[in-house]
Amino acid sequence: MSIVEVDRVEKRYGSVVALGGVSLTFADGEFFGLLGPSGSGKTTLLRAIAGFVAPDSGVIRLEGKDIGHTPVHRREIGMVFQNYALFPHMSVFDNVAFGLTVRGQRGDAVQKRVSEMLGLVRLAGFEARQPRQLSGGQQQRVALARALVTRPKLLLLDEPLGALDKRLRQQMQIELKQIQREVGITTIFVTHDQEEALTLSDRIAIFNEGRVVQAGKPLEVYERPMTAFAANFLGDANFFEGKVEAGGRIATSLGSLVTSDPLPMAGSPAMIAVRPEKITLTGTGAASAVGNNRLEGRLTQAVYSGMSTTYKIDVNGREVTVFEQNKGAPSLTPGTAVWLEWAPAHSVVVQP
């Protein structure tokens, strides 16, 4: 059972808090994403688990064993770096076999294991090629095969798809998930790409300033963010601030808005986040459902991007963003008076 436990791990660089008492548990066979902006601590945590960074305090356990004093090469961990770190003077076969040969393995056993790994990543027949003769996606697969060839207990991925173009990155996301499922290895990966985190992860943790802001299943974190930072980093959100009224309502500068979330006592400040795709936009004032939030505004911008259209609406001097799935040519044009409407369940109460 390759369970990883990070228990109150701290790391400082002078006055900078890289990790501020981080505690997380990574389940056996789980694909776990660490998401956050640059400098948020996610890569520091990955490197601490790998053994490249020594925490100032706290404990990291693999299968219940404290690995804090275990050398990097004895942690039974495979790692893929963003730049792949392939040996340019070695063939694909020798790159993948490297971890086995430094452990003293030779002959048929190495040949068989390398062939298994290259078959797994769909590179059978590429054994004699040099890294410079491979595409970016192929190099990424060689790096993955090299990381898995020694049968590690844990796989660490540092921005594994960051060097690829968008189309190839989306393709590799699917392949990487399939390979991880086939091998069944516990995997922790770092990314700043929201779509990548949502696509690959069984669970995610959002980092900010060395701390975990929120952790959970992607659907839970996206649909029910706990803070304004989590709502804005994982996706886009419109924020409305005001004071709590009776009956689950919040008085804002744009009017009274309703939520189905629990609220503090009347008179307390409150903030709600509303995802742009949850808002319905119409050119008429007719309400589609009783009890929904409704605001009147004027369309200022419509940006068509193929799969969807992004609308910017001025509501009493406040800009609100709405995403609409492409079901035909956009029917609303800038300057049009519009109504915005969304259900109380989509007004998510967040901490500022």
Instruction: Convert the pLDDT of each residue in 174-210 to its tens digit.
Output: 889 999 999 999 999 999 888 889 999 999 999 999 9
Give the pLDDT score at 329.
64
Q: For the residues 258-280, what does the mean pLDDT come to?
A: 95
Residue 298 to residue 334: CA distance in whole angstroms? 8
One domain for residues 268 and 161: no
Contact 42, 190 (CB under 8 A): yes
Is residue 158's pLDDT more than 70? yes
One domain for residues 160 and 102: yes
Give the pLDDT score at 152.
95
What pTM was computed for the model? Answer: 0.90
Tell me if 211 is assigned to some domain: yes
Tell me if 192 is assigned to some domain: yes
- 294-298's contacts with Cβ under 8 Å and 24+ in sequence apart are 294/339, 294/340, 294/341, 295/254, 295/255, 295/320, 295/339, 295/340, 295/341, 296/337, 296/338, 296/339, 296/340, 297/337, 297/338, 297/339, 297/340, 298/335, 298/336, 298/337, 298/338
One domain for residues 210 and 275: no
At 274, which CATH number? 2.40.50.100
Is residue 290's pLDDT more than 70? no
Residue 116 CB contacts under 8 Å (≥ 6 apart), including other chains: none
How many residues make up the chain in this entry? Answer: 352
One domain for residues 217 and 256: no
Give the pLDDT score at 195.
87
**Which H helix or E strand runs over 211?**
strand 211-216
One domain for residues 146 and 124: yes
Give the pLDDT score at 269.
96
At 129, which CATH number? 3.40.50.300
Give the pLDDT score at 333.
83
pLDDT tens-digit profile of 48-107?
999 999 999 999 999 999 999 999 989 999 999 888 889 999 999 999 999 898 888 888
Instruction: Compute the Cα dihedral for 21, 22, 23, 28 and give only its sign.
Output: negative
Give the pLDDT score at 162.
76
Nearest CA to 9 among 34, 30, 31, 28?
34
Q: For the residues 273-285, what does the mean pLDDT come to?
A: 89
Tell me if 187 is assigned to some domain: yes
Give the pLDDT score at 67.
96
Domain count, the chain: 2
One domain for residues 264 and 330: yes
Measured from the Cβ of residue 4, the count of other Cβ atoms closer than 10 Å reads 23
Q: Which one of 195, 224, 253 terminates a domain?
A: 224
Give the pLDDT score at 68.
92
Q: Which domain holds residue 248?
A: 236-350
pLDDT tens-digit profile of 208-255?
999 999 999 999 999 999 999 999 999 999 999 999 998 889 999 999
One domain for residues 40 and 108: yes
One domain for residues 240 and 216: no
Mean pLDDT of the chain: 92
Residue 72 DSSP label? G
Tell me if 230 is assigned to some domain: no
Tell me if 231 is assigned to some domain: no
Is residue 268's pLDDT more than 80? yes
Name which residue leads in pLDDT, 246 or 120. Answer: 120
Q: For the residues 130-136, what does the mean pLDDT come to?
A: 91
Tell me if 229 is assigned to some domain: no
The one-letter code for the residue type at 325 is: Q
Residue 331 DSSP label? -
One domain for residues 40 and 94: yes
Q: Which one of 194, 224, 254 terminates a domain?
A: 224
pLDDT tens-digit profile of 316-348?
999 999 999 887 766 678 899 999 999 999 999
Give the pLDDT score at 282.
84
One domain for residues 164 and 268: no
What secondary structure does DSSP assign to 250-270, as a single string? EEETTEEEE-SS---STT-EE
Tell me if 251 is assigned to some domain: yes
Contact 269, 243 (CB under 8 A): yes
Give the pLDDT score at 247.
81
One domain for residues 241 and 187: no
The one-letter code for the residue type at 210 is: G
State percent of the chain over pLDDT 90.
74
Residue 96 to residue 181: CA distance in whole angstroms? 20
Contact 31, 187 (CB under 8 A): yes
Q: For the residues 256-260, what does the mean pLDDT come to?
A: 95
One domain for residues 201 and 100: yes
Tell me if 318 is assigned to some domain: yes
Q: Which one of 224, 245, 275 terminates a domain?
A: 224
Is residue 144's pLDDT more than 70? yes
